[in-house]
């Protein structure tokens, strides 16, 4: 059994989650349950592989051999029953950078790109910073379960300048695993209007409670030809610091266009540890991931029970995937400013501000459950005590 209860001191490791607290919350005195990495040790096999490689005293330029793509092919087959070929894969130095390269490759300045909001904040910036137009397809909140507004999607896709639908699947922060029929509707609308689908599937390995992620490109051959998938072992195995991800497309024209932008920007070389980390995680991480998901489910159920007993006005939809929960604080009837102030100053917990995911996030906060359960309990106790004061 892997030990996810263990408290690991991240102090002094330049961890974003800890060391940016002062900047983000104005204080270091908050329990950090915000940015999406985990407070758990990476799988021992990954640690070992990195340490073995680090023992060699030369850290020169690196290449990724066939074992890199083999690890990916096998992983996608075993986790997602998705059969892909080696030459459909290209390394990328991060999912967000890969999305940026695709925005540059497949749209022009002024073109429209559709996103389902609220959404992971870089979805806005990767569009706006490249002078493209954000087309907000606001998700419909059906009592906590979010759904895509297909009528609006059809209207937006039909606009002459719309080039791309940037799909977040599973969705961060609302925790949806899109069903086959939802993906088929996305595919039909996008193909009808010549809109390319960029499928960010970075959270795909973290489907919980029996939900099964369906890779967008696996639903049919035409969807595969009209899309690029973005995947990574980073969220799954808590190895985001290695900047290692990859893109998949069976449409080699698209893949080559992607590649040419990545090469033009000279970002194709990759980190020395990138191949080592991905290969060891994918080849050895199955059991670790199984136990991780079970731990995350326990944490989610714990929070569900805790809130219903002690903070019943707070609501969240049990996530179908990801270790992020999207908590609705609206019953407290606080302004977002006062809610933030309460959480930081009174409860001393650091959550992601719902507003940073879009205006739909007013009244919400995102809580990262990927910490030892004792830490989660402490944070909830803090909130309860502060509320009852």
Q: Which stretch binds ligand PLP (CB under 6 A): 88-96, 185-193, 291-299, 334-342?
A: 88-96
For residues 80 and 90, is the Cβ–Cβ distance under 8 A? Answer: no
User: Among 336, 348, 338, 297, which Cα is nearest to 319's?
Assistant: 297
Minimum CB–partner distance for residue 238 and ligand PLP (Å): 12
Which is nearer to ligand PLP, 245 or 274 (by Cβ)? 245
For residues 158 and 114, is the Cβ–Cβ distance under 8 A? Answer: no
Minimum CB–partner distance for residue 313 and ligand PLP (Å): 28
The H-or-E segment that residue 197 falls in is strand 196-200
Which is nearer to ligand PLP, 272 or 307 (by Cβ)? 272
Q: Which stretch binds ligand PLP (CB under 6 A): 91-99, 127-135, 266-274, 276-284?
A: 91-99
Complete DSSP assignment for 88-131: GEEEES-HHHHHHHHHHHH--TT-EEEEEES--THHHHHHHTTT
Question: Per CB under 6 A, does 245 bind ligand PLP?
Answer: yes
Minimum CB–partner distance for residue 150 and ligand PLP (Å): 21
Those residues whose C-beta lies under 8 Å from the C-beta of residue 249, and which sit 6 or more positions away, are: 88, 217, 224, 227, 228, 229, 255, 258
Minimum CB–partner distance for residue 164 and ligand PLP (Å): 15
Question: Per CB under 6 A, does 236 bind ligand PLP?
Answer: no
Q: Which stretch binds ligand PLP (CB under 6 A): 48-56, 93-101, 273-281, 293-301?
A: 93-101
Which is nearer to ligand PLP, 95 or 325 (by Cβ)? 95
Sheet containing 112-117, strands listed edge to edge, beginning at the edge strand earlier in sequence = 89-92, 245-248, 227-231, 196-200, 162-168, 112-117, 133-138
Minimum CB–partner distance for residue 237 and ligand PLP (Å): 13
| Alpha helices (runs of H) in 193-271, residue ranges in sequence order | 221-225, 234-237, 252-264
User: Among 256, 236, 293, which Cα is nearest to 75's?
Assistant: 236
Identified binder of ligand PLP from the candidate list 107, 156, 229, 234, rule CB under 6 A: 234
Which is nearer to ligand PLP, 102 or 348 (by Cβ)? 102
Question: Per CB under 6 A, does 102 bind ligand PLP?
Answer: no
Site string for ligand PLP, 30-69 (x = CB under 6 A): ------x---------------------------------
User: Among 257, 216, 251, 193, which Cα is nearest to 76's?
Assistant: 216
Q: Which stretch binds ligand PLP (CB under 6 A): 89-97, 266-274, 356-364, 370-378?
A: 89-97
Identified binder of ligand PLP from the candidate list 33, 95, 114, 325, rule CB under 6 A: 95
Rounded CA separation 144/73 (Å)? 35
Identified binder of ligand PLP from the candidate list 34, 75, 120, 288, rule CB under 6 A: 120
Size of the site for ligand PLP (CB under 6 A): 13
Those residues whose C-beta lies under 8 Å from the C-beta of residue 387, and which sit 6 or more positions away, are: 311, 347
Structure tokens at 277: 């980390």
Which is nearer to ligand PLP, 100 or 347 (by Cβ)? 100
* Residues in 134-193 at the binding interface with ligand PLP, rule: CB under 6 A: 168, 172
* Residue 318 burial by Cβ neighbours in a 10 Å radius (0-12, 13-18, 19+): middle
Identified binder of ligand PLP from the candidate list 94, 112, 175, 372, rule CB under 6 A: 94
Identified binder of ligand PLP from the candidate list 50, 96, 135, 239, rule CB under 6 A: 96
| 25-35 residues labelled b (16+ CB within 10 A) or e (exposed) | beeeebbbbbb
Those residues whose C-beta lies under 8 Å from the C-beta of residue 342, and which sit 6 or more positions away, are: 334, 386
Q: Which residues bind ligand PLP (CB under 6 A)?
A: 36, 94-96, 120, 168, 172, 200, 202, 232, 234, 240, 245
């Amino acid at each position: 059994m892997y030990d996810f209860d263990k408290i690991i001191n991240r102090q002094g490791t330049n961890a974003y989650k800890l060391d940016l607290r002062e900047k983000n919350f104005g204080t270091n005195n908050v329990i950090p349950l915000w940015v999406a990495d985990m407070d758990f040790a990476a799988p021992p096999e990954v640690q070992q592989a990195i340490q073995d490689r680090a023992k060699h005293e030369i850290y020169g330029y690196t290449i990724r051999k066939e074992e890199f793509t083999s690890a990916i092919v096998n992983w996608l087959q075993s986790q997602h029953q998705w059969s892909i070929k080696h030459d459909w894969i290209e390394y990328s130095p991060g999912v967000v950078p890969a999305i940026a390269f695709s925005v540059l490759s497949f749209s022009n300045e002024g073109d429209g790109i559709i996103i389902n909001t609220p959404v992971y904040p870089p979805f806005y910036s990767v569009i706006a910073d490249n002078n493209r137009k954000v087309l907000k397809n606001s998700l419909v909140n059906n009592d906590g379960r979010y759904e895509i507004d297909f009528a609006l999607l059809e209207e937006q896709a039909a606009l002459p300048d719309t080039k791309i639908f940037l799909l977040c699947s599973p969705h961060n922060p609302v925790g949806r695993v899109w069903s086959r029929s939802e993906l088929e509707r996305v595919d039909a609308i996008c193909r009808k209007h010549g809109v390319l689908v960029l499928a960010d599937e970075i959270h795909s390995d973290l489907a919980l409670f029996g939900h099964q992620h369906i890779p967008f490109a696996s639903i049919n051959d035409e969807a595969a030809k009209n899309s690029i998938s973005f995947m990574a072992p980073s969220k799954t195995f808590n190895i985001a610091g290695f900047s290692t991800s990859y893109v998949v497309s069976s449409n080699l024209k698209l893949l080559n266009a992607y590649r040419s932008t990545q090469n033009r920007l000279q970002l194709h070389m990759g980190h020395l540890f990138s191949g080592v980390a991905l290969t060891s995680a994918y080849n050895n991480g199955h059991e670790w991931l199984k136990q991780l998901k079970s731990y995350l489910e326990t944490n989610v159920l714990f929070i569900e029970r805790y809130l219903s007993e002690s903070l019943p006005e707070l609501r969240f939809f049990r996530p179908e995937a990801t270790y992020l929960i999207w908590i609705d604080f609206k019953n407290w009837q606080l302004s977002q400013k006062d809610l933030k102030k309460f959480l930081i100053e009174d409860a001393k917990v650091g959550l992601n501000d719902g507003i940073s995911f879009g205006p739909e996030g007013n009244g919400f906060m995102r809580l990262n459950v990927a910490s030892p359960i004792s830490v989660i309990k402490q944070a909830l106790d803090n909130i309860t005590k502060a509320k009852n004061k």
